[in-house]
Structure 1
Amino acid sequence: MKILHLSTEGLPDWRIEKSALTALNKGHEVVFAGSKSPFIYNRNTFSKIYEVIWTAKARYGFPYYWHMVKKQIYQIIKEVLPDIVHAHNIFSAKMMLEFDIPFVYDDHEFWSRHSQLLLEMDKLNEIQAEKVSLNETIRGVRRRVKRKIINRHVNRLWAKWERELVSSVPTITVSNEIANKLRVIGNSNKIFVVHNFPMKFEVGGLGNPRQHDQLSSVYAGSDGHNKKKYPSRNIDGLTDIFTNNNVGDLTIIGWNGEFSEKIKYTGFLDRNDMYEVMSNNSIGLIPFKKHWSHEYINPNKAYEYAHAGLLVMCTNSFKEIKSVLKEHCVTFDDYEEMKEELLYFKNNMDELYYKRINLFEYARNNLIWELNEKQILEAYKIC
């Protein structure tokens, strides 16, 4: 069987690649079509890679630009002749409704809720603009109004597309919380959950957690490179907790910053180096301040932390993380409570090590991609 993975994003994208490896390991051929990436991709997972030029106006559903993308995808399908298309995210899945080819919709985001988040960001930007309105140019006002109109448009459009997709094709998503909502939205039982766990080969060589003499924590994220400030990922004041209190050191993976006595940054790391840096610490933090969207967010860093031998600490609004990790997850309500938890473990390193060992063993037995991949294959069967 030949499977075309279609995306609006480019490679590398580890969730797309893991799905492709699932099929490849079963003897199927996998092909990729998506946007050009600024990063070098040198893995040989896909037999061929095609570029699709997606534009913002196409993603907003404007007919001319949508048709231009459709023409590109038509030519790719004509050449590849796939048996199944694995459509990643809502835009490529909506596009596949216009072709007579079996496909599954892989919902990396909960798009109707994601569009609500964009509306919230728009309101926050409007409030900020009002504070500096005396210095705002006419061009700035026009840009803000245009963005507001677009966000309202996509809020309605993406919610409509989501209902259409989940009610008509098998849908794969990243958490049970999202799946339960999609089953109601689409009046469908063809919803499959595939958590973003690591693959066995990624973590099989990781040794048992090492006991550390002093407390050190890690935060992994790309926030430092993200131009958009999502309210769901608010970590304002995180570094102050470590700078101003005796709660150990903090390593921030994924972005660059100014080193200090207690804070260091690694910049971007490949996955092997990421796991190595993580394993040199004792606690993995998911410290986003409480937000309504956390009910539907399932950060894969929680499971990477677990396999690296860290205790996972997260804000208690992350319902899915708590459900998956069970008693192996320590939660906090706010930064003051997080500080108290860090102080406790700083003074109880033996207990912390015991918890790390337990979570590490739990991860090795339960938090592995291959334990979920049958859901992907089942979606392929019924599409």
Structure 2
Amino acid sequence: MSDGPLPDWRIEKAAISSKNRGYEVYFAGLKPSSSYQRNIFSRIYNLAWNPKARYRLPYQWHNLKKQMKKIIDEVKPDIIHAHNVFSAKMAKEIDTYPIVYDNHEYWSKFLVYQYENNSEIDYYDKNMMDKIKRNVTTFSNQIKKTKRKVWIEWELEIVTDIPSLVPSPSIKEELSSISKKIFVLPNFPLKSEIERIVPPKNHDHFSSVYAGTSPYKGYQTPIKNIDGFLDLFEIGKLGKINVIGWNASDSEFIKYHGFMDRTAMINEMSKNSIGFIPWKKHPFHPYCSPNKAYEYAHAGLIVFSTNSLQPIFDALQNNVVGFDEYPEMVKKVQDLFSNSEEVFLKRIKTYEFARSNLLWENYENNIFDAYKQAK
């Protein structure tokens, strides 16, 4: 179950894991995109999620719940794997079959932090409950504040009551204060995705890659703020960079590739030496686990990341280069320019580490451990 559409690779990987263990898997959520063709689910049901339903306006919520109940009654599932808070809340209200909650983004913390810049919140404040309660009251828009507060309450209620899957150990550490049924399931690739990636080759050039979503109408959320990052390439300080996921006009040092499917993306990444996660420090980063860091590693790139993105450092250990500010990042990159042998050795080491450690299958059992605890 999800309030979103397919494709959603975390949902699909969980479904593949279940299929590999003999489960018959169904999906219910928003209608998939017209280009979606993967044959993972036995059947795909459409649920007409919309903002009014997510805000739990009575008429829309009631109608959607009738749709969901009809699907559940038809499938008669052994387990409902509910992705994100809205589908979990509705399935919990219907309360006919065991449920596991897949918390993709640590919703309650994300809602508090997503519009806040890094100067407004104490980065080192770890008291989750007090922090959430205090910051809910700071939203400027009273209506949105009220709705987000309800969503936060939903998540805390759900996590307290049903087994939950989270993408990083730091989220588990916090939520373990209210539940003992928290299981880590990082956003690592499937083994089948990386099996054909060949070991890194020694390039005769030095270039980098940044993969991510482009700013919407020129606006980038504070959590993923990279203001000034690409400017460093425009002025020739860091060589050439390939930007995946953005459509824009190329320049002398920047090439934009737009959206790429996963196979083409990994292939393009592997032609470079460095993969960047250059988001400016933000209070949500200790819980944020961007899958691009792990795709970089499997592609044989040296991963450069902002130090505040703790899950990346937990996962990659000493196979990531950290920095606090862009001037420090620039110096570390430039130090590599003149040492192609060191670059190549670091890439090989990261690639080999990723193939042994950064795999979905290494944590797959946690899905089924969560299922066993569902009721």
Post-superposition offset of 1:95:
0.7
- Distance in structure 2 (CA, Å) of the matches to 1:227 and 1:86: 35
Matched, 1:251 2:258: no
1:42-191 aligned within 5 A:
42-99=37-94, 100-118=96-114, 120=116, 148-184=141-177, 187-191=178-182
Match of 1:313, SS state, is strand
Post-superposition offset of 1:63:
2.3
Does the C-alpha gap of structure 1 residues 323 and 226 become closer, same or farther in structure 2, counting only changes over 3 Å?
A: farther
Contact 1:20 1:30 in 2 (8 A): yes
- Distance in structure 2 (CA, Å) of the matches to 1:227 and 1:240: 15
Deviates more, 1:190-199 or 1:30-39: 30-39
Letter in 2 for 1:181: E
Contact 1:119 1:152 in 2 (8 A): no
Contact 2:186 2:363 in 1 (8 A): yes
Contact 2:115 2:222 in 1 (8 A): no
Match of 1:167, SS state, is helix
Does the C-alpha gap of structure 1 residues 118 and 324 become closer, same or farther in structure 2, counting only changes over 3 Å?
A: closer
Matched, 1:304 2:300: no
- Distance in structure 2 (CA, Å) of the matches to 1:245 and 1:90: 44
Q: 1:270 aligns with which of 240, 258, 261?
A: 261
Contact 1:235 1:288 in 2 (8 A): yes
More helix by share: 1
Contact 1:215 1:247 in 2 (8 A): no
Matched, 1:358 2:353: no
Unaligned runs of 5+ in 1: 1-5, 125-145
Contact 1:104 1:169 in 2 (8 A): yes
TM-score (norm 1): 0.89
Contact 2:208 2:274 in 1 (8 A): yes
Post-superposition offset of 1:57:
1.7
Letter in 1 for 2:70: Q
Residue 363 of structure 2 is matched in structure 1 by 372
Does the C-alpha gap of structure 1 residues 25 and 45 become closer, same or farther in structure 2, counting only changes over 3 Å?
A: same
Match of 1:29, SS state, is coil
Post-superposition offset of 1:39:
4.3
Cα offsets for 1:137-182 (capped at 9, x unmatched): xxxxxxxxx9812321133112211111111100001001111111
Letter in 2 for 1:101: Y
Does the C-alpha gap of structure 1 residues 378 and 226 become closer, same or farther in structure 2, counting only changes over 3 Å?
A: farther
Match of 1:235, SS state, is coil
- Distance in structure 1 (CA, Å) of the matches to 2:115 and 2:333: 35
Contact 2:114 2:222 in 1 (8 A): no
Residue 317 of structure 1 is matched in structure 2 by 308
Post-superposition offset of 1:226:
7.1
Letter in 1 for 2:246: W
Post-superposition offset of 1:119:
5.0
Amino-acid identity (%): 47
- Distance in structure 1 (CA, Å) of the matches to 2:217 and 2:314: 28
Contact 2:114 2:223 in 1 (8 A): no
Does the C-alpha gap of structure 1 residues 98 and 22 become closer, same or farther in structure 2, counting only changes over 3 Å?
A: same
Q: How many pairs were matched up? A: 354
Does the C-alpha gap of structure 1 residues 119 and 362 become closer, same or farther in structure 2, counting only changes over 3 Å?
A: closer
Does the C-alpha gap of structure 1 residues 266 and 55 become closer, same or farther in structure 2, counting only changes over 3 Å?
A: same
Post-superposition offset of 1:25:
0.4
Post-superposition offset of 1:243:
1.6
Post-superposition offset of 1:61:
2.3
Cα RMSD after superposing both structures: 1.7
TM-score (norm 2): 0.91
Contact 1:118 1:151 in 2 (8 A): no
